[in-house]
Amino acid sequence: MPACPETERFAALLRSLKNRSGLSYEALAKKTGTAGSTLHRYCRGTSVPQDYGSVHRFATACGATPDELRTLHRQWALADAARTEPGTGTGTGTEADADVVEGVEVVEGVDLVDSDGAEEPEAVEPGAAEPKAVEPKAVEPKAVEVGPVRPVRQGRFRLDQFRQGRFRVVVIGAVVLTLGVSAWALTTDHPSSGSSGGGSAADGRLLFSAACQPVVAMGQHDTCVGEVQRLLHAKGADIDVDSDFGPQTLRRVTAFQVFSGLQPNGVVGDATKKALYTSNVRMTVWPPAKVRQHIRAVFTDAPDAAVAIADCQSFLDPLHILPNTNGTRNWGLFQISDLRLRELGGTPRQALDPEWNIRAAQRLWSKKRDFHDWPNCERAVKGAATTAPAR
């Protein structure tokens, strides 16, 4: 079954990076922690990752530049948006015979499928419950009748019935708005009526002015991103103020949300904007020298290997956060996963504390006295001593 255009363009970017790197799927699997067969499906366009984390690891392993990472993230967002709805298709966002639908209820968030199988956002008002709420004049009754030539199937409307100018403008605007922002993120951090977030550039709160979008997210490059970075830097975050919402900003925003008790979704909505201006959160962390020193003090039986693992996992950054393909996250110096956090009785907030993270990693190491929890960094360990040197 052919992929939709968004998925194919996303797959083409992945193939280009892989071909340029000269790495095999087996080599990339070792570097990314994702099965080679899975990476092959991504590059063929027959599957789209559920989370950007695996895409980022793949691109980084292939030597992608910051600009390439931003382009890839935007294309992944489009491919992910074109994904088939749960339980209705192949999971790649394509349907070979997606024709027309009659009698289906129209609700917010439902996607339309055009004649070549590519899903696009539907231009409906929140809460609309009938098909006629979508541009009534654009749908003639005869267009949805069951005819002998084009059989009618339950589940979708033909998008080509709605290709009028106004709908096209709405679709383009909706796609731009959703770049880098997943649906779950918007439901947990969005502007709400009656909030105290209203403001303007004149009162010193640029993020609440008309110049900024309701949600500032990955892939943006403007003064609003620069404002987010400036506010994070003022709270002690190690971040470049370059007005470019890339992976570094994503990690710092997520960490700030954890410290502030907000949903750590990595996007800057109303609640996060307000916290950036009003909270007393401080994001200062240990420098690399202190991190190395403390790891060696805790991992007395394998100090060099432990430092190498942490360096491989997080570049010795206590606030390093990466997502997994199943929607979970890895946290802190030793990139402790949500599953391991539950086993250890910890929280994301604790995992971002270098003291707690290092000792938690040592507890995992002590079970078998090896680094089996970090298989992707075996190469880093080979070049380091695995036991304490004799004195």
Residue 257, pLDDT above cutoff 90: yes
So what's the pLDDT on residue 163? 44
- List, for residues 305-327, the tens digit of each pLDDT value: 999 999 999 999 999 998 876 77
What mean pLDDT comes out for the span 286-313? Answer: 95
Q: State the first-to-last Cα distance of the chain, in angstroms, to the nearest integer.
A: 64
pLDDT-derived band of residue 17, with 50, 70 and 90 as boundaries?
very high
- What is d(CA 159, CA 161) in angstroms, rounded to the nearest whole number? 5
More reliable by pLDDT, 3 or 33? 33
So what's the pLDDT on residue 382? 72
Long-range Cβ contacts of 18-24 (<8 Å, 24+ apart) = 18/43, 18/62, 20/62, 20/63, 21/61, 21/62, 21/63, 23/61, 23/62
So what's the pLDDT on residue 189? 52
Give the count of beta carbons closer than 10 Å to the beta carbon of residue 274.
19
If you ran DSSP here, which 8-state letter would residue 211 be given? Answer: T
So what's the pLDDT on residue 256? 97
Apex 18 CA angle, 13 and 21, nearest 5: 125
Strands 329-331 and 336-337: antiparallel
* Helical spans, DSSP H, in the chain: 5-21, 25-32, 36-44, 52-61, 66-81, 165-178, 183-188, 223-234, 247-260, 270-278, 288-298, 303-314, 338-344, 348-351, 354-368, 378-382
Residue 114, pLDDT above cutoff 90: no
Apex 105 CA angle, 143 and 126, nearest 5: 110
So what's the pLDDT on residue 168? 47
Report the range of poorest mean pLDDT among 14-28, 63-77, 87-101, 376-390: 87-101
Average pLDDT in the chain: 74
So what's the pLDDT on residue 377? 84
- List, for residues 121-149, the tens digit of each pLDDT value: 333 333 444 444 444 444 444 444 444 44
Structure tokens at 101: 């639908």
For 96-189, strand residue ranges (E) read 111-113, 119-121
What mean pLDDT comes out for the span 276-304? Answer: 95
Helix, strand, coil in percent for the chain, rounding step 5: 50, 5, 45
- Residue 56's alpha-carbon distances to 5, 9, 365, 379, in angstroms, are 21, 16, 27, 20
So what's the pLDDT on residue 245? 93
- What single-letter amino acid sits at 127? G
- List, for residues 19-62, the tens digit of each pLDDT value: 999 999 999 998 888 899 999 999 999 999 877 778 888 998 89
How many CA atoms lie within 13 Å of 56's alpha carbon, on the beta-carbon side? 20
What mean pLDDT comes out for the span 100-117? Answer: 32
Q: Are 240 and 233 in contact (CB under 8 A)?
A: no
Name which of 289, 283, 274, 198 is nearest 249 in CA terms: 283
For 118-204, strand residue ranges (E) read 119-121
What mean pLDDT comes out for the span 210-222? Answer: 91
Residue 348 neighbours by CB under 8 Å, 6+ apart: 258, 264, 329, 331, 341
Residue 69, pLDDT above cutoff 70: yes
Residue 244, pLDDT above cutoff 50: yes
Apex 67 CA angle, 62 and 69, nearest 5: 45
Percent of the chain scored above 90 by pLDDT?
Answer: 45
What mean pLDDT comes out for the span 79-87? Answer: 62
So what's the pLDDT on residue 108? 32
- Residue 364's alpha-carbon distances to 285, 310, 360, 369, 380, in angstroms, are 23, 13, 6, 8, 18
